Chains A and B, each alone.
Chain A
Amino acid sequence: MTTRFSLLLQQSPFAGQSFASALQFARAALAKGYLLEQIFLYEDAVLAVQPGIDLPADEPDLAAQLARFCQQQQIPLLYCVTAAEKRGVFSDINADAKADKSANAPPPFIAAGLAEFAMRLTGTKVVQF
């Protein structure tokens, strides 16, 4: 049976090499015929969904690269809404009328919870970055 991977990212896309490493791993895994069940952004990795990321043209935007990769390869790219909310990034699975932030991050980012990570994890191998 083909091995399926769950990738778990926990560091900021800027203050570490985890996004670069995860991208390399993901490309290599697909090239060798393995499957990626999910890429899950937790802790500071949720900073990747910020709408205002603005980098000089000659610096790699790893959050955007990962998003593009997931879109092309149709890999679910999930982020933890609670972790995002705590960092003032996007909120809300159920667009809470009382909240002043209501939008979710744009596709391919998918607002999700840890429960979804836990469900998708079954039958996969977790690799952390």
Chain B
Amino acid sequence: MQAILLIQTASPFNQAKAREALDLALALAAIEHQVSMLFQDDAVYQLLAPDFEQTTAPLKAFQKSFGLFALYDIGPCLVCQQSLAARGLAQLSLPDGFVQADSAAIQAAMQQADQLIRC
């Protein structure tokens, strides 16, 4: 068992990358690693839940799968404050279990982890 911080950097429109990062997180947690997440750079767009009834964008609503984090004891899920602010999303309301993190909090999370995996 290891403490692994998985760093998501891909926009949801980069579907394969974001989805494959999610699969990796779930697989690591299924093998009883202690997984936490950091959403950084364009990955913060993953937290904008588009209205999938309305949009014609060719996207799968894989954000719904974030609900699995609780089942797998994945957490905490940090969201980079600076990345949000840079995209005009500082006021974004985050899903349950997600918290904004400043650079000090991110640094602390990285220090606590045995491994960092960036996707």
Contacts and interface: CB of A to CB of B under 8 A. Distances in A.
Contacts of B20: 42-43, 83
Which of under 10, 10 to 19, 20 to 34, or 35 or more describes the interface residues of B? 10 to 19
Interface stretch (A67-75, A94-102, A109-117): A109-117
Given A42-B24, A118-B31, A121-B33, A86 B115 contact: no
A15 interface: no
A82 B20 CA distance: 10
A118 B115 contact: no
Contact of A125 (B28, B33, B115): B115
A117 B6 CA distance: 15
A126 B23 contact: no
A126 B2 CA distance: 11
Interface in B52-87: none
Interface residues of A, number: 18
Contacts of B33: 118, 121-122
B2 A121 contact: yes
B30 interface: yes
A86 B1 contact: no
B55 to A, nearest CB: 22
B115 A43 contact: no
A126 B118 CA distance: 11
Of listed A10, A82, A118, A122, residue having the most chain B CB within 10 A:
A118
Given A43-B119, A126-B117, 12 more contacts: A42-B20, A42-B24, A43-B20, A82-B23, A114-B24, A114-B27, A118-B27, A118-B33, A121-B2, A122-B31, A126-B116, A128-B118
